[in-house]
Amino acid sequence: MQNDYEYFTKFNWNSNPFTLTIDPQLMVGYSEQTNSLLSHVHNLHKFALISGPTGSGKTTLMLWLRSQLMAFKKFNPYYISKPPKSSKELVMLFKSFLGFNIIDKIRYGDLSLFDLQKFVIRKLRNKQFVLLIDESHESSVANLEWIRTIADSIPNLYVIFAGLPVFEKNIETQLPTIFMRITTKTYLNNLSRPETETLIQKRIENSGGEGLKPFASDAVDRIYEITGGFPREIIKTCDKLVKEAAEKNITNINRSFIDQVIKTSETTEPVEMQAPLSQKQKEILEILNKNPDLTPSQIISHFPVEEYKDRDNAVRSINNILKRLVKDELIQRKKLGNSYVYFLTGKAKTVFTEA
């Protein structure tokens, strides 16, 4: 048995290529989406939406977009990892981004939402302010409406939202004022098999390695099958394989080795669904994708109480749906204390965008 560093030196790696860090310079694929977003911004459209399941690369794409826009003097792009939780926090973000000096203090006092328009317009001058808001599905309706109002009132302020697929559905039903203003929608599904190989190679070469070593070509095939082509899952799977290979001093990671390391139940070999997913099944998959290891009671808490006659009815309904999803190999369960908790299988990630 050897340590990871000794193993890395066999391939001239200066670090683990598959540490789960976000680096926009290592982004792979999604050329259609990136071109669409750049065109959107350069044409000064107000609102855009990036939608995709967890692990599809939304954050990486947002940071990539920020880096691209920073190269143009007319743009001031600002990335927010989480949407503001209150109007006060929204004001603080603008003060932080644009600066709030003594003269601003004299002119605006503590600065409120009602003075924000004048403040931002004065600060921006001829610059184009692009606000990149990640995890937008976590935002409240009230704050989304404030963001819409502020963007409408400031000519050179533009907003790009990124969130889970449920975000688009929510704003369509709850905030049509925003939904109707979104002129560009980009959807991130999964990478292709060649793109999966490119992602692995790019990370290896960024760490000083050469090509795909130590991964064999059939290993990439298997990694693609297991992960469904989702970037985060590709990186996590490769990290697991590298650690196992280092422990066993394996210098050729092939399909056979992968099947020894990763159980069949974790793979995502495509299986034809017996029937289309119901809306409730889709919602449960979305909940588990964002919050793995939930009990049936915790899953129920994500739905409005009025959807069911009583709690017993809710428990029966959710348990029946969970049984079907387990049968279809979209979720699994494990014992935790006195209860069972549920989580997505790898296969679910290949159909999750349909959910």
Do 261 and 117 lie in one domain? The reply is no
Do 217 and 301 lie in one domain? The reply is no
Tell me what pLDDT residue 53 has.
81
Q: Is residue 24 part of a domain?
A: no
pTM above 0.75, yes or no: no
- Tens digits of residue pLDDT in 80-124: 998 888 888 888 888 888 888 999 888 888 888 888 888 888 888
Do 94 and 145 lie in one domain? The reply is yes
Check residue 277 and report its DSSP letter. P
Residues facing 332 on adjacent strands: 343
38: its two tokens = 């750049």
Q: Of the candidates 211, 219, 218, which has an alpha carbon nearest to the alpha carbon of residue 245?
A: 219
Q: Is residue 15 part of a domain?
A: no
Q: Is residue 20 part of a domain?
A: no
Q: Residues in the chain, how many?
A: 355
CA distance 130 to 120: 12
Q: Is residue 292 part of a domain?
A: yes
100: its two tokens = 């709030």
Tell me what pLDDT residue 352 has.
53
Tell me what pLDDT residue 142 has.
87
Scanning 125-248, the segments in alpha helix (DSSP H) are 141-153, 165-174, 176-179, 193-206, 217-227, 231-248
- Tens digits of residue pLDDT in 321-342: 898 888 777 888 887 777 788 8
How many domains, in total, are found in the chain? 3
- Tens digits of residue pLDDT in 14-56: 989 998 888 888 888 888 889 999 999 999 999 999 988 888 8
Tell me what pLDDT residue 355 has.
41
Q: Which residue has the tokens 């985060």?
A: 232
Q: Which domain holds residue 346?
A: 279-354
